[in-house]
Amino acid sequence: MLTRRAFLKATTASAAGAVLVPRAGLAQVAPGAIKRGGTLTAAIFADPLSFDPHFTGNLQGRAATRAIHDTLFRVSAQGRLAPGLVESWEQPDDRTFVLRLRANLKFQDGTPLDAAAVKFNIDRIRDPKTTAAGGIRAGEISTLDTVEAVDARTVKLALKSPFAAFLFPFTDVTGCIGSPAAFQKWGADYGLHPVGAGSFRMVEYAKDSRTALEKNGDYWDKGKPYLDRVVLRPIPTDSTRLAELRAGGVHLAEALPLQDVQRLRQSKEIVVSEKVGFRWEYFGFNLAEAYPGRSKKFRQAFQWAIDREALHQVAYFGTGSIGYDGIMPGSPFHDPSYAPFKRDLNMAKKLIAESGIGAPVTIQAPLQPDPVKQRAGQLFQATAAELGVKVSIEQIDSAGYRDQLRAGKMAIDLFGWWGYRPDPDQYLGILLHSSGSYAKYHSYSNPKIDELILAERAARTEAERRKVFRQISELMNEDAVYVPWHYSSDFKGLHPSVKGFVHAQDAITHFDEIWLES
């Protein structure tokens, strides 16, 4: 079996020199310097597939759908809820939110975006027929009891139970409001004929070829967008996206190859933008009796055994940052000083000896063909060998991986990750609360964790929630069902003529902020 030392020797050569100093935010300019007009072409790594906010799922679909529809709320640079289509809101009690829409909002078909339209969209999300047809948003607002259009600009949301973070899903496609008239006209085909109130309208879509968005001249945020047109070109191959950017065929390219980032930073023809905290990486154990992960001390051993710095350098070429819990950078609840573990092989071996898991120990570990996760998996395998644990990696496709995970038959999840969400409850509830799908996949249940999840949901102030989230992090690490190791970055490459770009924490490009210098 490949040893950890041999694996590091074989791989760190390619990562050498790849330690990056996080780049400062791109410089902003005075409004008078902004140039209006022009077409921005973006190389995206997958086709959007659908522009129906209640069905679209991938990053590219979400980005285009948000540009077309806009969202009820936005997320501030500090990771807090901010106004969008909703101008103001209040919480009269712990189970009620009252939203006040902006005045004179209109859809791109000229019909009013009012409280009745918001109710129509929320009702559509919750309709069992939508879910049966493939809708994927109902679970995000399952705490909602009733929605009421109080008057033309006021929406009242009543919850089944207190939930401080309830409004955050409305910052993404759950909060995109489509024209009821268009929904009724197009039915199941709305995803190809979207009508929102966003900064752009869709004028062309050719699957796997291009999506064209045109400026909405009646956009509520007067003066925006600055561009006349945005063209999205799906280019799944990393090297081809990069070549198009270098050649000037596109102005913006998603998902730069990690191994090229350090070199690209030295280029004068490309501006590299990095946003740390795009996703959180972990190794997840199954606590069912059939697997060695049933022993807490066995799981805890890996908190001390894994070499997070080596994983950072080898798997991610020094990009992103080391992570010790599930609360990502960009959240007001993230604690950058939290680092409860360092590599201590003696401590790890002691915990293994006390675990009650008899030798020899063999763990079957399915792994998808993702190069980052392959490198991380091999390093984990080598680390486990130092503890006398054999990890047998099985190559598997995404469908097979999903089926094993959901059936609760995966002894260890080496592929574990969760993408950025503006509030940690949006994923920690799923991962840790006994009712959460991932907690069930991993046979995990801890009444104390359940209490803490409910406590942060019921808390009314950010300070109260921060205190509870720190307790959740401590208990999550003690239970070690998920062994955290990294916060990865999102990288985008920009032509130097692109100005006003703001790298959002969720990696969604806000096209209404961008302008072209020439």
Q: Token digits for 205?
A: 């879509």
Q: Which of 423, 249, 318 is nearest to 14 (CA)?
A: 318
Q: Looking at residues 19-40, what average pLDDT do you find?
A: 61
Q: Is pLDDT at 146 greater than 50 in this prediction?
A: yes
Higher-pLDDT residue of 248, 14 = 248
The predicted model gives 502-510 an average pLDDT of 91
Among the listed residues 418, 465, 428, the one whose alpha carbon sits nearest the alpha carbon of residue 450: 428
Using pLDDT thresholds of 50, 70 and 90, give the confidence band for residue 470.
very high
pLDDT at 26 over 70: no
User: pLDDT over 70 for what percent of the chain?
Assistant: 94
Q: Per-residue pLDDT for 27 more than 60? A: no
pLDDT value, residue 32: 64
Backbone angles phi, psi at 180, to 5 degrees: -55, -35
The predicted pLDDT at position 24 comes to 33
**pLDDT at position 10, please?**
45
Give the model's pLDDT for residue 423. Answer: 92
CA dihedral (490, 167, 78, 458) in degrees, to 10, reads -120
User: Which stretch of 9-23, 46-60, 69-83, 330-344 has the lowest confidence by average pLDDT?
Assistant: 9-23
Please give the Cα distance from 174 to 191 (Å, whole number). 14
Percent of the chain with pLDDT over 90: 79
Mean pLDDT, the chain, as a whole number? 91
Say if residue 463's pLDDT is above 70: yes
Q: 18 pLDDT band (50/70/90 cuts)? A: very low
Distance separating alpha carbons of residues 329 and 261, to the nearest angstrom: 20
Confidence label for 29 from pLDDT (cuts 50, 70 and 90): low
Q: Which domains are assigned to the chain?
A: 4-16+276-490 (3.10.105.10), 50-198 (3.90.76.10)
**What's CA 250's distance to the chain center, in Å?**
25
Amino acid type, 476: M
pLDDT recorded at residue 330: 85
Angle at 379 between CA 11 and CA 419, to 5 degrees: 100
Quick one: pLDDT band at residue 5, thresholds 50, 70, 90? Answer: low
CA distance 311 to 324: 13
